Amino acid sequence: MLDLYGVKVASRLLLGTARYPSPSVLAEAVKRSATEIVTVSLRREAAGGRSGGAFFEMIRQLGVRVLPNTAGCHGVSEAVLTAKMAREVFQTNWIKLEVIGNHDTLQPDVFALVEAARILTSEGFEVFPYTTDDLVVAERLMEAGCKVLMPWCAPIGTAAGPLNPSALRSIRAHFPEMPLIVDAGIGRPSHAATVMELGFDAVLLNTAVAGARDPGIMAEAFAGAIDAGRQAFNAGLLEPRDMAVPSTPVIGKAVFA
């Protein structure tokens, strides 16, 4: 079981709810993924006017836990205000904290991220910060009170997969007890399996599922890949070797004259 701020969940797949072609397609993807947590942007739902209430009611009926996010925020005060509004709307202390610093790469502004995280944790929020794979930033977020980290493996929506496996290995090794959820950049089920094989605890997806020809099937594929990667990590992966090693013993083999 995955423990996130004292909440235990069986599924290690978190699913975003944006960019689906219809609410029914989203609902199907959520069901087939077996996820227990979905992310919702307060800005998106507020912009939808009356449709926002209907959307949240649909999510509630799916029986999943909501992780509101501050998507689209570019500064500390904006992110903090959005988080406070989300807490009132969704009735949860959970918040996925995003503070974007670059318009092209959507890379987090890590300085503003740490400051916003410190403010929110002091006000009782349980923060899930969307961050880079930088170890120093991770340490600062922990010092700010974060008990979960969400490093990217590539920029949002690129579907590039893990661009820096060494950095991901390092952050996993430096924080062995911290729940680490890879957020952003996953494009294929094989990418998800790869990061889970590195020892990460979960994966957050959106575009790779919502943008698929059949989001329901893709959600199910990702769920299977994440489970496989986790099981492989727990079983102990065979490390690459420089030389060939025979799988059949050479001692005691038959000799023909």
3-state secondary structure of 58: helix
pLDDT at 45 over 70: no
C-alpha 186/C-alpha 162 separation (Å) is 7
Residue 153 lies in a domain: yes
User: For residues 148 and 94, is the Cβ–Cβ distance under 8 A?
Assistant: no
User: pLDDT digits over 78-137, tens only?
Assistant: 999 999 999 998 899 999 999 999 888 889 999 999 999 999 999 999 999 999 999 999
pLDDT at 38: 96
pLDDT at 99: 96
Known binding-site residues equal 157, 184-185, 206-207
11-20 average pLDDT score: 94
What CATH number is attached to the domain comprising 163?
Answer: 3.20.20.70
Binding residue positions for 1-deoxy-D-xylulose 5-phosphate = 157, 184-185, 206-207
Task: Answer yes or no: is 58 within a domain.
Answer: yes
Q: Which residues are catalytic?
A: 96
Residues spanned by the domain of 42: 2-235
Identify the residue with better confidence: 50 or 223. Answer: 223
- Identify whether 97 is part of a domain: yes
pLDDT tier, 250 (very low <50, low <70, confident <90, very high otherwise): low
Tokens 């500390």, located at residue: 76
Whether 163 shows a pLDDT value over 90: the answer reads: yes
Three-state secondary-structure class, residue 184: coil
In a domain, residue 129? The reply is yes
Confidence class of residue 42 from pLDDT cuts 50, 70 and 90? Answer: confident
Residue 156 in any domain: the answer is: yes
Which helix H or strand E contains 30, and what residues bound it? helix 23-33
More confident residue, 55 or 198: 198
Strand 94-97 and strand 7-9: pairing? unpaired
Give the number of domains in the chain. Answer: 1
On whether residue 251 sits in a domain, the answer given is no
pTM: predicted TM-score of the whole model, two decimal places: 0.89
Contacts of 196 (CB under 8 A, 6+ apart): 12, 203, 225, 226, 228, 229, 230, 232, 233
Host H or E run for residue 233: helix 215-235
Handedness of CA 7, 64, 130, 86 (dihedral sign): negative
In contact, 202 and 239? CB cutoff 8 Å: no
- Confirm whether 10 is domain-assigned: yes
